[in-house]
Structure 1
Amino acid sequence: MGKVRADISVSVDGYVAGPRQTRENPLGEGGEGLHEWAVALEVFRERHGEEGGVVNASDQVMREAVAGVGAGIMGRGMFAGTGPWDETWTGWWGENPPFHVPTFVLTHHRREPLTVSDTTFVFVGDGIDAACAQARKAAGDKDILIHGGARTIDQALAAGLVDELDLHVVPVVLGGGSRLLADVPPQLTFEQVRVIEAPGVTHLKYRVK
Protein backbone atom coordinates (compact mmCIF):
# COMPACT_ATOMS: atom_id res chain seq x y z
CA MET A 1 0.00 0.00 0.00
CA GLY A 2 1.30 3.45 -0.91
CA LYS A 3 1.51 6.51 1.29
CA VAL A 4 -1.01 9.31 1.68
CA ARG A 5 0.82 12.58 1.10
CA ALA A 6 -0.43 16.16 1.39
CA ASP A 7 1.38 18.79 -0.67
CA ILE A 8 0.68 22.52 -0.75
CA SER A 9 2.22 26.00 -1.04
CA VAL A 10 1.78 28.26 1.98
CA SER A 11 2.59 31.85 2.92
CA VAL A 12 4.85 32.62 5.88
CA ASP A 13 1.73 33.55 7.87
CA GLY A 14 0.12 30.18 7.14
CA TYR A 15 -2.35 30.82 4.31
CA VAL A 16 -2.79 28.70 1.18
CA ALA A 17 -5.09 31.25 -0.49
CA GLY A 18 -5.64 34.93 0.07
CA PRO A 19 -8.78 36.79 1.15
CA ARG A 20 -11.81 37.48 -1.07
CA GLN A 21 -11.62 34.44 -3.33
CA THR A 22 -13.91 34.56 -6.38
CA ARG A 23 -14.51 32.55 -9.53
CA GLU A 24 -12.37 35.06 -11.42
CA ASN A 25 -9.69 35.06 -8.69
CA PRO A 26 -9.79 31.59 -7.11
CA LEU A 27 -6.64 32.07 -5.00
CA GLY A 28 -7.84 35.35 -3.52
CA GLU A 29 -5.92 38.59 -3.22
CA GLY A 30 -2.20 37.87 -3.41
CA GLY A 31 -2.72 34.13 -3.69
CA GLU A 32 -1.14 33.79 -7.14
CA GLY A 33 2.17 34.72 -5.53
CA LEU A 34 2.19 31.40 -3.70
CA HIS A 35 2.85 29.57 -6.97
CA GLU A 36 5.26 31.81 -8.82
CA TRP A 37 8.12 29.48 -7.87
CA ALA A 38 6.35 26.57 -9.58
CA VAL A 39 4.81 27.89 -12.79
CA ALA A 40 8.15 28.49 -14.54
CA LEU A 41 9.45 24.97 -13.87
CA GLU A 42 10.07 22.44 -16.61
CA VAL A 43 8.06 19.76 -14.80
CA PHE A 44 5.12 22.16 -14.30
CA ARG A 45 5.04 22.96 -17.99
CA GLU A 46 5.35 19.28 -18.92
CA ARG A 47 2.32 18.36 -16.82
CA HIS A 48 0.31 21.09 -18.56
CA GLY A 49 1.32 19.80 -21.99
CA GLU A 50 3.81 22.61 -22.63
CA GLU A 51 7.52 22.75 -23.45
CA GLY A 52 10.48 24.60 -21.95
CA GLY A 53 10.82 25.75 -18.37
CA VAL A 54 13.39 26.16 -15.61
CA VAL A 55 15.30 23.28 -14.02
CA ASN A 56 16.44 23.91 -10.44
CA ALA A 57 16.04 22.40 -6.97
CA SER A 58 12.29 23.05 -7.06
CA ASP A 59 11.96 21.12 -10.32
CA GLN A 60 13.38 18.03 -8.63
CA VAL A 61 11.12 18.49 -5.59
CA MET A 62 8.04 18.67 -7.81
CA ARG A 63 9.12 15.66 -9.85
CA GLU A 64 9.45 13.66 -6.63
CA ALA A 65 6.04 14.90 -5.48
CA VAL A 66 4.21 13.57 -8.54
CA ALA A 67 6.24 10.36 -8.94
CA GLY A 68 4.45 7.19 -7.94
CA VAL A 69 1.05 8.87 -7.49
CA GLY A 70 -1.94 6.71 -8.39
CA ALA A 71 -4.80 8.95 -7.23
CA GLY A 72 -5.46 12.46 -5.94
CA ILE A 73 -7.84 14.16 -3.53
CA MET A 74 -8.92 17.79 -3.44
CA GLY A 75 -11.65 19.93 -1.95
CA ARG A 76 -14.55 21.31 -3.95
CA GLY A 77 -13.15 24.83 -3.78
CA MET A 78 -9.93 23.75 -5.42
CA PHE A 79 -11.87 22.16 -8.28
CA ALA A 80 -14.50 24.79 -9.05
CA GLY A 81 -15.60 27.10 -6.28
CA THR A 82 -18.59 26.50 -4.01
CA GLY A 83 -22.36 26.10 -4.16
CA PRO A 84 -24.55 24.19 -6.62
CA TRP A 85 -22.83 22.95 -9.76
CA ASP A 86 -22.66 24.82 -13.02
CA GLU A 87 -22.21 21.68 -15.12
CA THR A 88 -21.39 23.69 -18.23
CA TRP A 89 -18.09 24.59 -16.53
CA THR A 90 -15.38 21.97 -15.98
CA GLY A 91 -13.55 23.87 -13.27
CA TRP A 92 -10.33 25.81 -12.84
CA TRP A 93 -8.09 23.28 -14.59
CA GLY A 94 -9.01 23.75 -18.25
CA GLU A 95 -8.84 21.17 -21.01
CA ASN A 96 -5.60 19.52 -19.85
CA PRO A 97 -5.59 19.16 -16.03
CA PRO A 98 -2.13 18.45 -14.62
CA PHE A 99 -3.17 15.49 -12.45
CA HIS A 100 -3.26 12.57 -14.95
CA VAL A 101 -4.75 10.15 -12.38
CA PRO A 102 -8.24 9.64 -10.89
CA THR A 103 -8.91 12.62 -8.62
CA PHE A 104 -11.54 12.56 -5.87
CA VAL A 105 -13.29 15.85 -5.09
CA LEU A 106 -14.96 16.44 -1.72
CA THR A 107 -18.32 18.15 -2.17
CA HIS A 108 -21.76 18.60 -0.58
CA HIS A 109 -23.32 18.72 -4.07
CA ARG A 110 -23.29 15.36 -5.82
CA ARG A 111 -22.34 15.10 -9.47
CA GLU A 112 -21.55 12.34 -11.96
CA PRO A 113 -17.84 11.68 -12.63
CA LEU A 114 -16.24 14.02 -15.15
CA THR A 115 -13.36 13.04 -17.45
CA VAL A 116 -11.22 15.85 -18.85
CA SER A 117 -8.32 14.66 -21.01
CA ASP A 118 -6.68 11.83 -19.01
CA THR A 119 -7.98 12.93 -15.59
CA THR A 120 -11.28 11.62 -14.21
CA PHE A 121 -12.77 13.70 -11.40
CA VAL A 122 -14.96 11.67 -9.03
CA PHE A 123 -17.22 13.69 -6.71
CA VAL A 124 -17.51 12.34 -3.15
CA GLY A 125 -20.24 13.52 -0.80
CA ASP A 126 -19.46 11.26 2.17
CA GLY A 127 -16.42 13.00 3.62
CA ILE A 128 -12.66 12.60 3.70
CA ASP A 129 -12.67 8.97 4.91
CA ALA A 130 -14.82 7.88 1.97
CA ALA A 131 -12.70 9.90 -0.47
CA CYS A 132 -9.52 8.30 0.88
CA ALA A 133 -11.02 4.80 0.67
CA GLN A 134 -12.01 5.33 -2.96
CA ALA A 135 -8.62 6.85 -3.75
CA ARG A 136 -6.81 3.86 -2.18
CA LYS A 137 -8.78 1.50 -4.38
CA ALA A 138 -7.93 3.53 -7.47
CA ALA A 139 -4.26 3.98 -6.55
CA GLY A 140 -3.51 0.34 -5.79
CA ASP A 141 0.09 0.16 -4.53
CA LYS A 142 0.82 3.76 -5.53
CA ASP A 143 0.59 6.91 -3.39
CA ILE A 144 -2.38 9.21 -2.86
CA LEU A 145 -1.64 12.93 -3.16
CA ILE A 146 -3.90 15.41 -1.35
CA HIS A 147 -3.60 18.68 -3.26
CA GLY A 148 -5.65 20.95 -0.98
CA GLY A 149 -7.20 23.19 -0.03
CA ALA A 150 -6.53 23.96 3.60
CA ARG A 151 -9.75 22.50 4.98
CA THR A 152 -9.34 19.23 3.07
CA ILE A 153 -5.78 18.77 4.33
CA ASP A 154 -6.85 19.66 7.87
CA GLN A 155 -9.66 17.10 7.73
CA ALA A 156 -7.28 14.40 6.51
CA LEU A 157 -4.72 15.22 9.22
CA ALA A 158 -7.40 15.23 11.93
CA ALA A 159 -8.66 11.84 10.71
CA GLY A 160 -5.16 10.35 10.92
CA LEU A 161 -5.03 9.64 7.18
CA VAL A 162 -1.86 11.52 6.22
CA ASP A 163 1.61 9.93 6.27
CA GLU A 164 3.65 12.87 4.97
CA LEU A 165 3.12 16.63 4.66
CA ASP A 166 5.07 18.70 2.13
CA LEU A 167 4.93 22.47 2.62
CA HIS A 168 6.36 24.90 0.09
CA VAL A 169 6.83 28.06 2.13
CA VAL A 170 6.79 31.25 0.06
CA PRO A 171 8.08 34.56 1.50
CA VAL A 172 4.81 36.47 1.20
CA VAL A 173 2.30 37.60 3.84
CA LEU A 174 -1.37 37.31 2.84
CA GLY A 175 -2.94 38.46 6.11
CA GLY A 176 -6.12 36.42 5.63
CA GLY A 177 -7.85 33.83 3.50
CA SER A 178 -7.69 30.05 3.83
CA ARG A 179 -5.37 29.13 6.69
CA LEU A 180 -3.66 25.76 6.92
CA LEU A 181 -3.65 23.84 10.23
CA ALA A 182 -6.46 25.97 11.60
CA ASP A 183 -8.57 22.96 12.62
CA VAL A 184 -6.34 20.07 13.64
CA PRO A 185 -5.95 18.41 17.06
CA PRO A 186 -3.36 20.12 19.30
CA GLN A 187 -1.64 16.79 20.00
CA LEU A 188 -0.75 16.34 16.30
CA THR A 189 3.03 16.14 15.93
CA PHE A 190 5.46 15.95 13.02
CA GLU A 191 8.97 14.68 12.41
CA GLN A 192 11.06 16.86 10.10
CA VAL A 193 12.42 14.86 7.16
CA ARG A 194 14.17 17.53 5.08
CA VAL A 195 14.54 21.21 4.20
CA ILE A 196 15.48 22.37 0.69
CA GLU A 197 16.12 26.00 -0.23
CA ALA A 198 15.29 27.14 -3.76
CA PRO A 199 14.59 30.43 -5.57
CA GLY A 200 11.53 32.05 -4.02
CA VAL A 201 10.55 29.08 -1.82
CA THR A 202 11.67 26.75 0.96
CA HIS A 203 10.53 23.13 0.70
CA LEU A 204 9.75 21.37 3.99
CA LYS A 205 8.89 17.69 4.31
CA TYR A 206 7.38 16.28 7.51
CA ARG A 207 6.40 12.79 8.55
CA VAL A 208 3.18 12.70 10.58
CA LYS A 209 3.89 10.93 13.87
Structure 2
Amino acid sequence: MTKVTTGATMSLDGYIADASHGGFEHLFQWYANGDVETPTATPGMTLRTSAASAAHLRALNERTGALVVGRRLFDMTNGWGGRHPMDVPVVVVTHRVPEGWDRESDSFVFVTDGIESAIDRAKALAGDKQIGVNGGTIATQVMQAGLLDEVHIDLVPVLLGDGIPLFADLKIAPVQLEGPTEVVQGNGVTHLAYRVRRTG
Protein backbone atom coordinates (compact mmCIF):
# COMPACT_ATOMS: atom_id res chain seq x y z
CA MET A 1 0.00 0.00 0.00
CA THR A 2 1.32 3.45 -0.92
CA LYS A 3 2.42 5.43 2.13
CA VAL A 4 1.15 9.01 2.50
CA THR A 5 3.45 11.38 4.40
CA THR A 6 3.69 15.06 5.13
CA GLY A 7 6.77 17.04 5.96
CA ALA A 8 7.69 20.59 6.90
CA THR A 9 10.51 22.66 8.25
CA MET A 10 9.38 23.93 11.65
CA SER A 11 10.60 26.39 14.26
CA LEU A 12 11.24 25.18 17.78
CA ASP A 13 8.02 26.87 18.88
CA GLY A 14 5.98 25.00 16.28
CA TYR A 15 5.55 27.25 13.24
CA ILE A 16 6.14 26.51 9.55
CA ALA A 17 5.96 30.23 8.65
CA ASP A 18 5.62 33.47 10.54
CA ALA A 19 2.31 35.31 10.85
CA SER A 20 2.84 37.06 7.48
CA HIS A 21 3.58 33.75 5.68
CA GLY A 22 7.32 34.51 5.79
CA GLY A 23 10.22 33.74 8.11
CA PHE A 24 11.80 31.34 5.63
CA GLU A 25 15.20 33.05 5.85
CA HIS A 26 15.40 31.54 9.36
CA LEU A 27 13.61 28.27 8.73
CA PHE A 28 15.49 27.29 5.57
CA GLN A 29 19.06 28.25 6.54
CA TRP A 30 19.96 24.56 6.78
CA TYR A 31 19.50 24.21 3.01
CA ALA A 32 22.65 26.31 2.47
CA ASN A 33 24.85 25.87 5.56
CA GLY A 34 26.95 22.85 4.60
CA ASP A 35 29.53 21.50 2.19
CA VAL A 36 27.61 18.67 0.49
CA GLU A 37 25.82 19.61 -2.72
CA THR A 38 22.43 18.15 -3.63
CA PRO A 39 21.25 19.17 -7.10
CA THR A 40 17.54 19.66 -7.81
CA ALA A 41 15.40 19.67 -10.94
CA THR A 42 15.29 23.47 -10.79
CA PRO A 43 18.07 25.02 -12.91
CA GLY A 44 20.52 26.95 -10.73
CA MET A 45 19.09 25.55 -7.49
CA THR A 46 21.59 23.34 -5.68
CA LEU A 47 21.24 22.66 -1.97
CA ARG A 48 24.38 22.76 0.19
CA THR A 49 23.81 20.98 3.48
CA SER A 50 25.63 18.86 6.02
CA ALA A 51 26.42 15.30 4.98
CA ALA A 52 23.70 13.97 7.29
CA SER A 53 21.04 16.27 5.80
CA ALA A 54 22.21 15.49 2.26
CA ALA A 55 21.78 11.75 2.88
CA HIS A 56 18.36 12.45 4.40
CA LEU A 57 17.31 14.48 1.32
CA ARG A 58 18.60 11.82 -1.11
CA ALA A 59 16.62 9.11 0.68
CA LEU A 60 13.49 11.30 0.65
CA ASN A 61 13.84 11.95 -3.08
CA GLU A 62 14.38 8.27 -3.86
CA ARG A 63 11.28 7.09 -2.02
CA THR A 64 8.88 9.85 -3.18
CA GLY A 65 6.85 9.20 -6.33
CA ALA A 66 4.36 12.08 -6.30
CA LEU A 67 3.36 15.15 -4.30
CA VAL A 68 0.00 16.64 -3.32
CA VAL A 69 -0.10 20.39 -2.71
CA GLY A 70 -2.67 23.14 -2.34
CA ARG A 71 -3.36 25.90 -4.81
CA ARG A 72 -1.89 28.60 -2.55
CA LEU A 73 1.52 26.87 -2.42
CA PHE A 74 1.39 26.31 -6.18
CA ASP A 75 0.68 30.02 -6.74
CA MET A 76 3.29 31.18 -4.18
CA THR A 77 6.00 29.26 -6.05
CA ASN A 78 4.66 30.17 -9.49
CA GLY A 79 4.35 26.47 -10.23
CA TRP A 80 8.04 26.01 -9.44
CA GLY A 81 8.80 27.35 -12.89
CA GLY A 82 7.10 24.37 -14.55
CA ARG A 83 8.73 21.49 -12.67
CA HIS A 84 8.99 20.76 -8.94
CA PRO A 85 12.58 20.65 -7.58
CA MET A 86 12.06 16.98 -6.60
CA ASP A 87 11.32 16.15 -10.25
CA VAL A 88 8.13 14.20 -9.49
CA PRO A 89 4.53 14.79 -10.62
CA VAL A 90 2.54 17.20 -8.45
CA VAL A 91 -1.20 16.90 -7.83
CA VAL A 92 -2.63 20.35 -7.09
CA VAL A 93 -5.87 20.55 -5.10
CA THR A 94 -7.84 23.53 -6.40
CA HIS A 95 -11.33 24.81 -7.14
CA ARG A 96 -10.39 25.58 -10.75
CA VAL A 97 -7.50 24.94 -13.11
CA PRO A 98 -5.34 28.08 -13.34
CA GLU A 99 -5.26 29.88 -16.67
CA GLY A 100 -2.45 28.86 -18.98
CA TRP A 101 -2.03 25.39 -17.47
CA ASP A 102 -3.23 22.03 -18.79
CA ARG A 103 -5.48 20.08 -16.46
CA GLU A 104 -3.02 17.19 -16.63
CA SER A 105 0.61 17.00 -17.77
CA ASP A 106 3.80 15.17 -16.82
CA SER A 107 4.52 17.84 -14.20
CA PHE A 108 1.14 18.89 -12.78
CA VAL A 109 -2.31 17.39 -12.39
CA PHE A 110 -5.08 19.71 -11.16
CA VAL A 111 -7.81 17.99 -9.12
CA THR A 112 -11.02 19.91 -8.44
CA ASP A 113 -13.11 17.31 -6.62
CA GLY A 114 -11.53 17.08 -3.19
CA ILE A 115 -8.64 15.71 -1.17
CA GLU A 116 -9.60 12.03 -1.42
CA SER A 117 -9.61 12.24 -5.19
CA ALA A 118 -6.24 14.02 -5.12
CA ILE A 119 -4.71 11.28 -2.97
CA ASP A 120 -6.12 8.58 -5.27
CA ARG A 121 -4.64 10.35 -8.30
CA ALA A 122 -1.27 10.72 -6.58
CA LYS A 123 -1.24 7.02 -5.67
CA ALA A 124 -1.74 6.14 -9.33
CA LEU A 125 1.18 8.41 -10.27
CA ALA A 126 3.50 7.27 -7.47
CA GLY A 127 3.41 3.57 -8.27
CA ASP A 128 5.21 1.71 -5.49
CA LYS A 129 6.72 4.88 -4.04
CA GLN A 130 5.30 7.14 -1.33
CA ILE A 131 3.26 10.33 -1.63
CA GLY A 132 4.40 13.57 -0.05
CA VAL A 133 1.78 16.09 1.08
CA ASN A 134 2.97 19.72 1.29
CA GLY A 135 1.33 22.75 2.83
CA GLY A 136 -0.33 23.01 6.21
CA THR A 137 -3.92 23.31 4.96
CA ILE A 138 -3.61 20.25 2.73
CA ALA A 139 -1.79 18.28 5.44
CA THR A 140 -4.65 19.06 7.83
CA GLN A 141 -7.25 17.90 5.30
CA VAL A 142 -5.38 14.64 4.66
CA MET A 143 -5.01 14.02 8.41
CA GLN A 144 -8.73 14.68 9.00
CA ALA A 145 -9.63 12.30 6.17
CA GLY A 146 -7.67 9.54 7.93
CA LEU A 147 -5.29 9.21 4.96
CA LEU A 148 -1.99 10.32 6.52
CA ASP A 149 0.54 7.67 7.58
CA GLU A 150 3.59 9.66 8.70
CA VAL A 151 4.63 13.15 9.78
CA HIS A 152 8.18 14.32 9.04
CA ILE A 153 9.56 17.45 10.71
CA ASP A 154 12.78 19.32 9.97
CA LEU A 155 13.13 21.03 13.36
CA VAL A 156 15.14 24.27 13.31
CA PRO A 157 16.49 25.99 16.46
CA VAL A 158 14.71 29.31 15.96
CA LEU A 159 11.77 30.87 17.80
CA LEU A 160 9.40 32.77 15.50
CA GLY A 161 7.14 33.84 18.36
CA ASP A 162 3.97 33.62 16.30
CA GLY A 163 2.93 32.18 13.00
CA ILE A 164 1.31 29.34 11.10
CA PRO A 165 1.36 25.83 12.58
CA LEU A 166 1.56 22.74 10.40
CA PHE A 167 -1.87 21.45 11.43
CA ALA A 168 -3.90 24.62 11.92
CA ASP A 169 -7.58 24.16 12.91
CA LEU A 170 -7.28 20.38 13.17
CA LYS A 171 -10.82 19.22 13.97
CA ILE A 172 -9.88 15.70 15.14
CA ALA A 173 -7.24 16.64 17.73
CA PRO A 174 -5.71 15.16 19.74
CA VAL A 175 -3.98 12.83 17.27
CA GLN A 176 -1.30 10.61 18.77
CA LEU A 177 1.89 9.86 16.88
CA GLU A 178 4.32 6.97 17.40
CA GLY A 179 8.07 7.33 17.45
CA PRO A 180 10.21 9.03 16.53
CA THR A 181 10.87 6.39 13.90
CA GLU A 182 13.81 8.42 12.58
CA VAL A 183 16.15 11.01 14.09
CA VAL A 184 18.88 12.56 11.91
CA GLN A 185 21.02 15.37 13.28
CA GLY A 186 22.09 17.83 10.60
CA ASN A 187 23.76 21.21 10.84
CA GLY A 188 21.17 23.60 12.27
CA VAL A 189 18.33 21.10 11.84
CA THR A 190 17.07 17.83 13.30
CA HIS A 191 15.13 15.58 10.94
CA LEU A 192 12.34 13.68 12.72
CA ALA A 193 9.74 11.17 11.57
CA TYR A 194 6.63 9.88 13.36
CA ARG A 195 3.89 7.37 12.48
CA VAL A 196 0.26 8.40 12.80
CA ARG A 197 -1.38 6.10 15.32
CA ARG A 198 -4.50 4.45 13.94
CA THR A 199 -7.54 4.32 16.22
CA GLY A 200 -10.72 2.33 16.03
Same-fold status (TM-score > 0.5): yes
After superposition, the C-alpha distances for 1:145-199 in whole angstroms (9 at most, x for unaligned) are: 11x2111111111111111111001112223332112233124111111222221
Confirm whether residue 113 of structure 1 aligns to residue 107 of structure 2. no
Count, aligned residues: 189
Q: CA deviation at 1:114?
A: 6.5
Q: Unaligned stretches of 5+ in structure 1?
A: 22-27, 82-89
Relative to 1, partners in 2 of residues 1:17 and 1:154: Cα closer, same or farther, differing over 3 Å? same
Q: CA deviation at 1:124?
A: 1.6
Q: CA deviation at 1:54?
A: 4.0
**Partner Cα distance (2:4, 2:125) in 1:** 13
**Partner Cα distance (1:151, 1:174) in 2:** 19
Tell me the residue number matched to 1:161: 147
**Partner Cα distance (1:132, 1:162) in 2:** 10
Partner letter of residue 56 of structure 2?
V
Q: TM-score, normalised to structure 1's length?
A: 0.80
Q: Percent identity?
A: 38
Q: TM-score, normalised to structure 2's length?
A: 0.83
**Partner Cα distance (1:205, 1:113) in 2:** 33
Relative to 1, partners in 2 of residues 1:19 and 1:63: Cα closer, same or farther, differing over 3 Å? same
Q: CA deviation at 1:134?
A: 0.6
Confirm whether residue 32 of structure 1 aligns to residue 25 of structure 2. yes
**Partner Cα distance (1:159, 1:4) in 2:** 12
Q: CA deviation at 1:57?
A: 0.9
CA-based RMSD: 2.3
**Partner Cα distance (2:93, 2:162) in 1:** 23
Q: CA deviation at 1:56?
A: 1.4
**Partner Cα distance (1:151, 1:135) in 2:** 17
Q: CA deviation at 1:99?
A: 2.6
Q: Unaligned stretches of 5+ in structure 2?
A: none
After superposition, the C-alpha distances for 1:27-82 in whole angstroms (9 at most, x for unaligned) are: x2x22321111245522x3443456834411111111111122211111121114x
